[in-house]
Each structure stands twice: as structure tokens, then as C-alpha cells.
């Protein structure tokens, strides 16, 4: 074991090339400051922040939409690099995420002025009182990437069921929830807002290319068929949101079958599929795909479902590992361990589905 002085560590966002060069040169020769990394994207910034736990992040203005995500992974001081002076409203709004000030743009020929201004801003940021740190031989770093997925599908009566379920979720949830409810597109935003008022977990509407994060709730937008994709990003494979233009068997969009089948293909046995109240049979083929790849399926019980058609179809097809009321379904999601030993009904093993 050893004890070392704690430097003021700084993580750089993807900044304009000249700005990045000037900041790196400046901080390399300043005692007490250490640049621990430079990100090439918003996703990499979140990963590096979680890994290095910097004292400060110098954030580019284009990364402001990702500030919430950054703050949830590692709350630290932030300096914002902006090409124009941000409005007072923007600064007031972002101050709650730790933004102390903004760095004025670098002008050619005014490098010395830029450096002095940056140093003045750095020295105004409070430094943590610790002067030493213990260095252990091994440190486990938790990734923002979820280790499991929970895919929920519903139709008629589904908004009320999902609201009741979300309200009871554990704030420390580590799975990611993907929710598809048969709703018109113009209802998606208001539905997401209602859910957000019920939980501290972040609720977002799915957007193409959106990476999945642990403890996140993603709502499939109405009128579109949201799917899950597994993509290569550097040395890692990550899960992200996509959309399919392929026709689905039912006329409903978002298609629960398509979302569940894509999740099964991307994440295999790490998927828990849940079919709640609704008309029709959407979700039955998706449940079959999840079971075939080692995942688990829960169908809502007839007693607790407003309309039993959708969960009933899954049960009759033999794809449900368990049939449970809403309050017990929530317990399973919060635990994300094994299903209870005693359930209403267990389905037989299934053959592999192509």
C-alpha cells in the first residue's frame, strides 16, 4: 500500500482541436493539476468519468444534453466551453449539475489571455479537503452498461398498469426497462412525463442511437417499432435503441413482438420479458423468442389484468415462466434474481426458435 498527494484531476470532453491543445499544454506545466483523459464522444466521457472520478470535467457546449447522464455517473465540478456567452437562464439551469462557469472561446493570437482566464476559473473551484488517498491494489469499476434488460409490453389498460408498476420500482434499480405500450404517437410524451413524476429513475423516450444505461426507463414512441441493437463501440459491444421499418404481424406500433425479439437476439438470457394487460396477442412471439434464448417471461394474472387477452395468449402458448399479479411482478423486477419457487403456472421447456 502507498499514500500519494491528491492532484486536482481534470477530464476533457471532445473540444475543438486548438482548445484541446492549449488546455493540455497549460495543465501539463501547472503544479497540482493532472489531465486524466480526453474523450472522443459523450458516451466515452461518461465511461471515463466513472473510471477516473475526476475533480473537474471541461465540457463542450454540444455535450450539454448529456450533462444529466454524466452527473448521474459521477457528480463533479464542470467548466463549460462555449463559443458564445450562455444566457443567464442556461447557466442557472445547469448550475444544479455542478457547472461553475463557462470558458470563453479561444481567439487566435490571444492564447495568453485564454490561459490566464482558465487558470483564474480553475483556482476559483473548491478543492476537496483530503490531501492524501489510499491506493489499493485492485479497484472494481462499475460500468454504466446494464447487466440485464426488462422488456414490458401492454395494450388496453396498459398505461395504468405501467404507472402502478413504475411507482413501486426500487430507486437503486440496475436493470434497464424497455416499455412498449400501444399508444398513439401524440400520447407518448405525456405518458413519459407522468411516469417521470412517479419515480426518481430517469424516464426517456427512445431515440435512434440512444445507448442503454443501468437504472433507465425507455418508452417506445407511439407509431414506430422500436428495437434493441447490439453494436461494436471501440473494444466493447453496447446495447442501443434502433427502429425497424419491417412490417409486423399486427397493425399495432410499437410492436411488442419486434422489441422482445430484438432484445432476445441482443441480450439472450439476460432478458426478462413481461406481458401485461391488453387486447390481442402481441407479445406472444416475442415471449417465445426470449424463452428460446434462455430468458424468462412473466404474464400478468387474469385477476389483476384489465384485459386478459395478451397475457392469456402468452400463457396458452406455453411461454410463461410465471403468472403473477402486478405487485409480485414489481418484486421480481426489483430483485432481478430468480423467480419465486411457487408460482401460478410454469410453462414447459421450449424448442429453439429460429
Please pick, among 63, 182, 281, 301, the residue that the annotation labels catalytic: 182
Tell me how far apart the alpha carbons of residues 177 and 333 are, in angstroms, rounded to a whole number. 9
Residue with cell 462557469: 101
Task: Specify the DSSP element, H or E, that contains 27.
Answer: helix 17-28
Quick check: 284 and 311 in contact, CB under 8 A? no
Residue with cell 429453439: 352
Burial class (CB in 10 A: 0-12, 13-18, 19+), 286: buried
Tell me how far apart the alpha carbons of residues 142 and 150 are, in angstroms, rounded to a whole number. 19
Residue 271, beta-bridge partner list? 149
Decide if 282 is catalytic.
Answer: yes
Measure Cα distances from 49 to 12, 29, 143, 260, 266 in Å: 10, 23, 11, 32, 26
Please pick, among 13, 43, 101, 282, the residue that the annotation labels catalytic: 282
Please pick, among 55, 63, 155, 255, the residue that the annotation labels catalytic: 155
Cell of 78: 464542470
Q: 126-148 in b/e burial notation, b at 16+ Cβ within 10 A?
A: eeeeeeeeeeeeeeeeeebbbeb
Measure Cα distances from 343 to 111, 162, 309, 312 in Å: 69, 21, 20, 16
Decide if 140 is catalytic.
Answer: no
Strand order in the sheet with 33-38: 33-38, 8-12, 56-60, 77-81, 99-103
Q: Which residues are catalytic?
A: 155, 182, 282
Amino acid at each position: 500500500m502507498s499514500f500519494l498527494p491528491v492532484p486536482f484531476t481534470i477530464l476533457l470532453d471532445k473540444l475543438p482541436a486548438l482548445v484541446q491543445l492549449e488546455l493540455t499544454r497549460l495543465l501539463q506545466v501547472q503544479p497540482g493539476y493532472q489531465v486524466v483523459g480526453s474523450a472522443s464522444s459523450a458516451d466515452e466521457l461518461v465511461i471515463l468519468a466513472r473510471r477516473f472520478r475526476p475533480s473537474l470535467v471541461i465540457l463542450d457546449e454540444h455535450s450539454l444534453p448529456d450533462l444529466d447522464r454524466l452527473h448521474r455517473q459521477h457528480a463533479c465540478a464542470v467548466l463549460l466551453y462555449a463559443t458564445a456567452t450562455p444566457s443567464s437562464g442556461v447557466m442557472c439551469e445547469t448550475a444544479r449539475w455542478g457547472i461553475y462557469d463557462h470558458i470563453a472561446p479561444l481567439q487566435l493570437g490571444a492564447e495568453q489571455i485564454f490561459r490566464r482566464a482558465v487558470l483564474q476559473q480553475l483556482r476559483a473551484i473548491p478543492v476537496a479537503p483530503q490531501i492524501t488517498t489510499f491506493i489499493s491494489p485492485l479497484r472494481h469499476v462499475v460500468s454504466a452498461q446494464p447487466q440485464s434488460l426488462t422488456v414490458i409490453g401492454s395494450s388496453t389498460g396498459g398505461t395504468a398498469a405501467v404507472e402502478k408498476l413504475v411507482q413501486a420500482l426500487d430507486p437503486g434499480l440496475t436493470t434497464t426497462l424497455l416499455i412498449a405500450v400501444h399508444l398513439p404517437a401524440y400520447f407518448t410524451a405525456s405518458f413519459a412525463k407522468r411516469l417521470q413524476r412517479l419515480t426518481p429513475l430517469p424516464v426517456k423516450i427512445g431515440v435512434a442511437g440512444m445507448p442503454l444505461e443501468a437504472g433507465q426507463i425507455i418508452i417506445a414512441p407511439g407509431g414506430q417499432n422500436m428495437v434493441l441493437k447490439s453494436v461494436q463501440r471501440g473494444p466493447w459491444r453496447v446495447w442501443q435503441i434502433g427502429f425497424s421499418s419491417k412490417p409486423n404481424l399486427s397493425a399495432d406500433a410499437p410492436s411488442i413482438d419486434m422489441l422482445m425479439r430484438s432484445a432476445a437476439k441482443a441480450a439472450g438470457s439476460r432478458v426478462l420479458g413481461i406481458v401485461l394487460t391488453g387486447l390481442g396477442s402481441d407479445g406472444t412471439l416475442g415471449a417465445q423468442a426470449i424463452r428460446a434464448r434462455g430468458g424468462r417471461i412473466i404474464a400478468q394474472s387474469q385477476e389483476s389484468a384489465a384485459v386478459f387477452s395478451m397475457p392469456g395468449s402468452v400463457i396458452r402458448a406455453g411461454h410463461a415462466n410465471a403468472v403473477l399479479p402486478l405487485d409480485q411482478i414489481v418484486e421480481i423486477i426489483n430483485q432481478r434474481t430468480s423467480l419465486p419457487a411457487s408460482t401460478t403456472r410454469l410453462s414447459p421447456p421450449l424448442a429453439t426458435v429460429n
